[in-house]
Amino acid sequence: MTDVRMGVVGCAGRMGINLLRQIDATEGCAIAGGSERPGHDAIGRDLGEIAGLASQGLTVVDAAPELFAASDVVLDFTVPAATVAHAALAAETGTRLVIGTTGTEAEDDAAIARAAEAVAIVRAANMSVGVNVLLQITQRLAGVLNEDFDIEVVEMHHRYKVDAPSGTALALGRAAAAGRGVDHDAVAQGGRHGITGERRRGDIGYAALRGGNVAGDHTVVFAADDERIELTHKAADRAIFARGAVTAALWLADREPGLYDMADVLGL
């Protein structure tokens, strides 16, 4: 079989480097190229140099269309505005897309969904196998426990993360809301400060911690009088997200247009 050619946008960032390394290490994959925003100091450098690999004979480009033209699948862990543009480009070129970008707004989500009408896209707030199992367990447990159990989602990430709560935390909260059959946005409670009054029954609360180089810790707390259940996933290295993303890219390589998630990829 011919290797699946995979391109990485934002290839010189922390996740981009992990993605390049994972593609290189995975059977059936080949690095097709990498791009960065115009003016980035990585432009023109060999991808192997960027990722600590052997020379690839491919240099970092500043034109995403060039990368999409060379790739079967592109992996995108960038920022919402860039991801929306890349989704439109994927639809135009027929290049399949894996999206791990978080922090999008409703209009961004709608644009990505429109692109998926023309091309196959896998989108997930978290690509790790463990987190996607946690999502399934959270939804099931929330459906079993009534509102005597308050639900809180606590997450911690490195000091450089710019959005809060994390996309994974929100995905866990939405899974809990789905388990209870309620509208997530109607019961979501963000960070608390000052005199907030007592907790409203049925709310799903969020707390976001930032510090150090934490790759990603998430805990869903189900707290009732005199008992508490805690479901926790801790990521020690971003490599787990890269492994999941490359697995998704391989799965996506022969899929028909549509918007898929990691539950589809993993058969959950």
Q: What is the pLDDT of residues 235-260, one digit of tens each?
A: 998 899 999 999 999 999 999 999 99
- 76 neighbors 86 (Cβ within 8 angstroms): yes
Beta strands in 42-164 (DSSP E): 73-76, 96-99, 120-123, 150-157
Same-domain pairing of 225 and 244:
no
Same-domain pairing of 42 and 102:
yes
Same-domain pairing of 88 and 118:
yes
The rounded mean pLDDT for the chain is 95
Same-domain pairing of 118 and 248:
yes
Residues catalogued as catalytic: 157, 161
What is the pairing mode between strands 150-157 and 120-123?
unpaired
Would residue 243 be called left, alpha or beta, if left means φ above 0 and alpha means ψ between -120 and 50 degrees?
alpha
Same-domain pairing of 143 and 181:
yes
Q: Tell me, what CATH number does 211's domain have?
A: 3.30.360.10
Over residues 5-45, the pLDDT tens digits come to 999 999 999 999 999 999 999 999 999 999 999 999 999 99
Same-domain pairing of 15 and 104:
yes
Segment 130-137 mean pLDDT:
94
Confidence of residue 126 (pLDDT cuts 50, 70, 90): confident
Give the pLDDT score at 125: 85
For the chain, how many structural domains are there in total? 2
Same-domain pairing of 118 and 34:
yes
Which residues form the domain of 177? 129-235
Same-domain pairing of 62 and 118:
yes
Q: Tell me, what CATH number does 21's domain have?
A: 3.40.50.720
Segment 76-105 mean pLDDT:
95
**Reduced to 3 states, what is the DSSP secondary structure of residue 257?**
coil
pTM: 0.82
Same-domain pairing of 42 and 147:
no
Same-domain pairing of 96 and 229:
no
**pLDDT exceeds cutoff 80 at 1:** no
- Which H or E run includes 80? helix 80-93
Same-domain pairing of 47 and 81:
yes
Same-domain pairing of 193 and 113:
no
